[in-house]
C-alpha cells in the first residue's frame, strides 16, 4: 500500500494504491478515511470503522449493492431515484438559472467549476447522486467540478458517489436539447446516422471505446445513449440521432456502440467486462420512438402518439432484444433503458391503456421486465411527471396519458409500480417520498420498502461496476491529455470521411483537381424559432468555413470566374407539424412536415388521423394544408447558381438530418454529396479525392411527398425512392465510389429485398 496526496485548487485528494486491487481515492477534507485488513485497503465510506460488505471491493457488485440498499433510508433511496435536470459547467452556459452564493456566475467571481447553490441543495437536501452534464467549458473545468461534487457527497451519510452522465457529445452540432454537450475539445465523430452510413459495426465499437475513455476523463460514468429507435418515419426530427430505419443495421450498430462503451479491455477489468474504463450505456427509447404519427415528436403534446398502421410494433423491439440485450463484450446487456415519451397507441394488449411508455404496465412490467427479463435500470425520459403545459406546442412537462386524474406524486407512484427505477429531469425528492406514502397506504410499508430497495440495488450496481465507490476522482492534467488527444481526433476524422455518401457523379466529375476556382453562394436563413421556442436570428453568410476552403480551392464570389459551383444545403426544414397560427385562425393547428424544398400542399394526407384526444383535437389531419420550409431558399440558391455558372458543373453538398426529396434539383446538377454532420474539411477531402467515398445510405430518399404520406409510420423501406438522371435509385444501402455503385460485403449483408 502507498499513499499519494495531490491537491489542486480546493481539492485535496488522497490516493492509496493496493498492491493487488483498485486504487482508493478520497478527499482529505471529507472525513472519510481508510480501513486496512488482510493486507488490503478499503474506503471507510460511512466513517464507522467497520468493513461492511458494500465497502469491500472484493465482493460482487450485486452483493455490495444489496448490502448498501439495506442500510439506506427511504430519503436516501428517493434521492438515488432522481436524475438531475441539465447542468452546465459553468452554469451560465446552461438551460436553467443558477447562482453562486446568491449571485449569477458573471458576478460571482468564482471558478467555473464551482458548485452552484442549486447543486449544493440537491446534493445535500434531496440526496441527488445522478447528474446530467451538458456544456463543459473545458476538460479541466469538468475534472475539477467532478472532484468538488464527489468530495462533497463523500462526506455525507453513507458516502455514495455522484454518477455523472452525458447525452451524445462527440458530434459537431450542440444546438439540440439531446446533443447539448457536443463540439469543443473532445474528439469529433459523425452523428449516429453518419456512423450508420459507414455500415461498419467494428468502427462503431471503436468509437464507443474511445468515447468511454474521454467520458471517464471528464468524470462521466454513464452515457445517455445510444438511440436505437428505428427511424421508420422519414419526417421525424430525431432521425439523425438514430442508426437509420433498418432494424438489422440498427441492431448491429447499437450492440457495437454499447459494447464499446461498457467493456473494459485494457487491463482494468474487474468483473464480466466491467471495470475502470467502462461507461454505463442507457439505451433508448423503449419500445421505439420512431413512429410518431406524421413524423411529429413527443417532446410536445402535438406529437404524443406513436402509431402502428403497418402492425409492425415487434420489429421496433429488435435493436433492444437482439442488440442492446445481447452484447458480445462481456457486460451482457445495456445497464439502463430509457422509455420514450410517446403513447404507443393501441399497443397495450392486456389493459388497453393509452399512456406514455414509462407509465405503461404492459410495456414496462409485462414486456420489458417479465417477458424479456430485463433487470437493469429503467429511467424515464426527462420531465414526464409535472403537469402538462398550457398548450400542445409548449416545451415543458410530458405526462402523456396521465395528464388528468393524477397528482405529481401519483404519477411517480404509477411509474414505480410498473417497474421504473428513476425519474429523468427531477431534482426534487418530495414527490417520490409522497409516492412512497401512497404505496404504504395501499400495500403496507414492508412491500414499499422492498420495492424501493429493488430499484436502489439496480442503480447502485451500475455505480459499483465502474469503480465509483473506490475512486470517483479524476486528475485534471490527465483529463487534458486524454480528452481530444491526437489519436482520438484522427480516428474520429477518419470515421467522418467514411460516413460521407456520394449519390451522384455524372461523367465521373469527382474528384476535382485541387487548386481550381470555385464559387460558393452565401446561404440565407430567415429569422425563426428553435426547438425550445427561442428566437433565432436571420443569417446570410457562407455555409462553410472559407478559410478551410482556401486550403483546397481558390474561392471567388464571381461565378463567371469559377470552374465549379459548390452549393451547401441541408435537409428541408418545415417545422415540427404544428402551427400556432393555424390554430389561432380556427384550424386544428396541425400542418404537414415536408421533405421537399418548395411549397408543399398535403393533397395525399389522411383525411382522419389515426390518433387524437379530446384534450386537444380528435382529428389531427392536415390534408390540403400548405407548408413552406424555412430553407426553401436552398432550392432557389441551387437554381441561381446553376444559371450563373452558365453550363459549368454544379455540385451540391447536402447535410442530411433526415431524408429529403431531391427531385426538385437533382436533374440540374452534376454531383450530389451527402453527409450527416461532419467537419468542413472532411467534405473537401472527399471532393478533391484525398479520400474515396465509401458511405452508404442508412435510409431511403423518397421520390416525392406522395410516397411519404402513403408510407406507414412504423414500417421501414416502404417508400418509392428517387431515381436520378444516371438511373441510380437512392435506396437504403446505395452509395458510389470512384468506380461506380458500391457492392461489397456490407451491401450483401444489409440490403433487404423489397
Helix extents (H) in 50-125? 61-71, 74-80, 105-108, 117-124
65: which residues sit within 8 A by CB, 6+ positions away? 54, 456, 457, 458, 460, 461, 464
H-helix or E-strand containing 271? strand 269-271
**Residue 19 gets which letter from DSSP?**
S
The full length of the chain comes to 754
Q: Report yes or no: 565 and 642 within 8 Å, Cβ to Cβ.
A: yes
Calpha distance 296→138 (Å, rounded): 35
| Strand pairing class (82-83; 423-424) | parallel
Active site residue ranges? 246, 381
C-alpha separations of 58 from 48, 52, 64, 468 in Å: 19, 12, 9, 14
Distance of CA 716 to the CA centre of its chain: 21
444: which residues sit within 8 A by CB, 6+ positions away? none
Residue 304 phi/psi, 5-degree rounding, is: -70, -20
CA atoms within 13 A on the CB side of 146: 29
566 beta partners: 651
635: its cell numbers: 432550392
Work out the angle at residue 144's Cα, subtended by the Cα atoms of residues 82 and 381, and round it to the nearest 5 degrees: 25
Calpha distance 229→684 (Å, rounded): 31
Calpha distance 503→669 (Å, rounded): 12
**Residue 389 gets which letter from DSSP?**
P
Q: Report yes or no: 726 and 507 within 8 Å, Cβ to Cβ.
A: no
Q: Report yes or no: 164 and 148 within 8 Å, Cβ to Cβ.
A: no
C-alpha separations of 349 from 353, 363, 370, 543 in Å: 9, 10, 15, 50
Q: Is 582 helix (H, G, I), strand (E, B) or coil?
A: helix
- Give the dihedral of Cα atoms 476, 477, 480, 483; nearest 10 deg: -70
R_g of the chain computed on alpha carbons: 26
327-358 burial, b for 16+ CB within 10 Å, e for fewer?
bebbbebbbbbbbbbbbbbebbeeeebbbbbb
| Strand pairing class (650-655; 740-741) | unpaired
H-helix or E-strand containing 642? helix 633-645
Q: What is the largest CA-CA distance in the chain?
A: 84
Give the residue among 633, 632, 672 at the shortest CA–CA distance from 649: 672
Question: What's the first-to-final CA gap in the chain, in angstroms?
Answer: 64
**Residue 369 gets which letter from DSSP?**
I
514-535 burial, b for 16+ CB within 10 Å, e for fewer?
eeeebbbbebbbeeeeebeeee
| Strand pairing class (517-519; 163-166) | unpaired
**Cell 466529375 found at:** 509
Calpha distance 697→501 (Å, rounded): 7
Positive or negative, the Cα torsion across 573, 574, 579, 580? Answer: positive
626 beta partners: 601
Residue 10 phi/psi, 5-degree rounding, is: -85, 0
Amino acid at each position: 500500500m502507498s499513499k499519494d496526496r495531490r491537491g489542486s485548487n480546493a481539492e485535496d485528494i488522497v490516493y492509496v494504491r493496493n498492491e493487488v486491487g483498485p486504487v482508493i481515492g478520497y478527499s482529505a477534507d471529507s472525513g472519510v478515511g481508510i480501513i486496512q485488513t488482510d493486507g488490503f485497503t478499503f474506503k471507510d465510506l460511512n466513517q464507522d470503522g467497520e468493513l461492511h460488505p458494500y465497502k469491500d471491493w472484493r465482493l460482487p457488485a450485486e452483493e455490495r449493492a444489496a448490502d448498501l440498499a439495506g442500510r439506506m433510508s427511504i430519503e436516501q433511496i428517493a434521492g438515488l431515484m432522481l436524475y438531475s435536470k441539465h447542468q452546465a459547467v459553468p452554469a451560465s452556459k446552461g438551460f436553467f438559472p443558477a447562482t453562486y452564493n446568491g449571485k449569477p456566475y458573471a458576478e460571482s467571481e468564482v471558478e467555473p467549476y464551482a458548485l452552484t447553490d442549486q447543486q449544493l441543495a440537491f446534493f445535500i437536501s434531496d440526496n441527488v447522486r445522478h447528474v446530467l452534464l451538458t456544456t463543459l467549458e473545458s476538460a479541466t473545468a469538468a475534472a475539477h467540478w467532478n472532484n468538488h461534487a464527489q468530495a462533497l457527497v463523500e462526506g455525507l451519510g453513507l458516502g455514495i458517489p455522484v454518477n455523472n452522465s452525458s447525452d451524445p457529445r462527440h458530434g459537431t452540432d450542440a444546438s439540440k436539447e439531446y446533443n447539448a454537450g457536443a463540439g469543443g475539445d473532445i474528439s469529433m465523430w459523425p452523428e449516429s446516422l453518419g456512423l450508420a452510413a459507414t455500415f461498419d459495426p467494428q468502427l462503431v465499437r471503436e468509437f464507443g471505446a474511445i468515447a468511454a475513455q474521454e467520458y471517464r476523463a471528464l468524470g462521466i460514468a454513464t452515457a445517455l445513449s445510444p438511440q436505437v429507435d428505428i427511424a421508420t418515419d422519414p419526417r421525424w426530427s430525431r432521425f439523425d440521432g438514430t442508426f437509420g430505419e433498418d432494424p438489422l443495421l440498427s441492431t448491429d450498430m447499437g450492440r457495437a456502440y454499447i459494447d464499446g462503451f461498457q467493456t473494459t479491455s485494457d487491463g482494468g477489468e474487474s468483473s464480466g467486462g466491467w471495470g475502470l474504463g467502462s461507461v454505463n450505456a442507457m439505451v433508448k427509447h423503449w419500445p421505439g420512438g420512431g413512429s410518431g404519427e406524421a413524423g411529429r415528436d413527443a417532446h410536445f403534446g402535438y406529437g404524443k402518439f406513436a402509431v402502428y398502421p403497418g402492425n409492425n410494433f415487434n420489429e421496433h423491439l429488435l435493436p433492444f432484444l437482439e442488440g442492446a440485450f445481447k452484447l458480445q463484450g462481456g457486460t451482457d446487456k445495456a445497464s439502463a433503458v430509457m422509455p420514450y415519451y410517446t403513447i404507443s397507441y393501441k399497443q397495450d394488449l392486456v389493459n388497453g391503456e393509452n399512456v406514455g411508455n414509462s407509465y405503461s404496465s404492459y410495456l414496462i412490467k409485462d414486456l420489458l421486465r417479465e417477458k424479456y427479463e430485463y433487470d437493469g435500470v429503467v429511467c424515464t425520459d426527462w420531465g414526464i411527471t409535472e403537469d402538462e403545459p398550457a398548450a400542445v406546442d409548449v416545451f415543458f412537462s410530458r405526462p402523456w396519458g396521465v395528464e388528468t386524474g393524477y397528482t405529481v406524486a401519483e404519477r411517480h407512484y404509477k411509474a414505480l409500480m410498473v417497474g421504473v427505477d428513476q425519474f429523468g429531469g427531477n431534482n426534487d425528492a418530495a414527490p417520490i417520498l409522497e409516492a412512497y406514502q401512497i404505496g404504504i397506504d395501499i400495500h403496507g410499508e414492508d412491500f414499499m420498502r422492498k420495492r424501493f430497495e429493488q430499484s436502489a440495488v439496480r442503480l447502485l450496481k451500475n455505480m459499483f461496476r465502474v469503480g465509483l465507490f473506490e475512486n470517483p476522482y479524476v486528475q485534471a492534467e490527465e483529463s487534458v491529455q486524454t480528452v481530444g488527444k491526437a489519436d482520438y481526433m484522427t480516428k474520429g476524422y477518419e470515421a467522418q470521411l467514411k460516413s460521407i455518401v456520394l449519390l451522384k457523379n455524372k461523367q465521373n466529375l469527382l474528384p476535382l483537381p485541387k487548386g481550381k476556382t470555385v464559387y460558393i453562394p452565401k446561404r440565407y436563413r430567415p429569422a425563426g424559432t428553435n426547438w425550445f421556442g427561442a428566437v433565432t436570428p436571420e443569417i446570410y453568410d457562407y455555409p462553410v468555413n472559407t478559410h478551410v476552403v482556401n486550403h483546397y480551392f481558390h474561392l471567388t464570389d464571381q461565378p463567371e470566374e469559377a470552374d465549379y459551383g459548390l452549393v451547401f444545403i441541408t435537409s428541408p426544414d418545415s417545422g415540427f407539424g404544428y402551427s400556432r397560427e393555424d390554430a389561432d385562425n380556427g384550424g386544428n393547428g396541425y400542418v404537414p412536415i415536408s421533405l421537399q424544398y418548395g411549397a408543399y400542399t398535403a393533397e395525399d394526407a389522411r383525411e382522419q388521423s389515426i390518433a387524437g384526444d379530446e384534450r386537444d383535437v380528435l382529428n389531427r389531419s392536415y390534408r390540403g394544408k400548405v407548408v413552406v420550409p424555412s430553407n426553401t431558399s436552398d432550392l432557389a440558391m441551387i437554381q441561381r447558381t446553376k444559371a450563373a455558372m452558365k453550363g459549368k458543373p454544379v455540385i451540391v453538398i447536402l447535410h442530411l438530418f433526415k431524408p429529403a426529396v431531391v427531385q426538385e434539383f437533382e436533374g440540374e446538377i452534376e454531383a450530389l454529396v451527402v453527409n450527416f454532420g461532419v467537419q468542413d474539411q472532411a467534405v473537401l477531402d472527399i471532393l478533391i479525392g484525398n479520400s474515396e467515398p465509401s458511405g452508404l445510405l442508412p435510409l431511403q430518399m423518397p421520390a416525392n411527398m406522395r410516397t411519404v404520406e402513403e408510407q406507414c409510420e412504423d414500417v421501414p423501406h416502404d417508400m418509392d425512392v428517387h431515381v436520378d438522371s444516371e438511373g441510380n435509385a437512392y435506396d437504403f444501402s446505395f452509395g458510389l465510389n470512384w468506380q461506380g455503385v458500391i457492392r461489397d460485403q456490407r451491401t450483401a449483408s444489409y440490403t433487404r429485398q423489397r
